[in-house]
Amino acid sequence: MHRHNTPLRGVKAVPRPKPDDPSYVAVNYAYAGKSGHIHEVVTIGGRQLAKVGFDDRKIVYYLLDDLELDYDSKRGTFHDTDVKG
């Protein structure tokens, strides 16, 4: 079971990275503009990074400032919909 301690866990997030930002690689741009949900937020080197999960179960990190957040949407991650067998 996964547990994440963050107040933003499950918030809908759409990444909007700036073009040619050296903080990002091809996978970040491949998921740019797609809806995902925050799994957790970590601080590294004084910068807040959000671990964003997408419907295909891919996890991609983005700077928190580069995410469009929808606090009013239904919260959840793909872990919340996993079927236990």
How many structural domains does the chain have?
1
pLDDT at position 7 is: 85
Distance from C-alpha of 4 to C-alpha of 10, rounded to nearest angstrom: 10
Q: Is 67 part of a structural domain of the chain?
A: yes
pLDDT in tens, 29-40: 999 999 999 999
Q: Is 77 part of a structural domain of the chain?
A: no
pLDDT at position 75 is: 73
Q: Is 47 part of a structural domain of the chain?
A: yes
Distance from C-alpha of 30 to C-alpha of 17, rounded to nearest angstrom: 11
**Full residue range of the structural domain in which residue 56 is found:** 12-71
Q: Determine the average pLDDT of the residues in 32-51.
A: 92
Q: Is 45 part of a structural domain of the chain?
A: yes
Q: How confident is the model at residue 17 (pLDDT cuts 50, 70, 90)?
A: very high
Q: Is 64 part of a structural domain of the chain?
A: yes
Average pLDDT, the chain: 86
Does position 9 have pLDDT exceeding 60, yes or no? Answer: yes
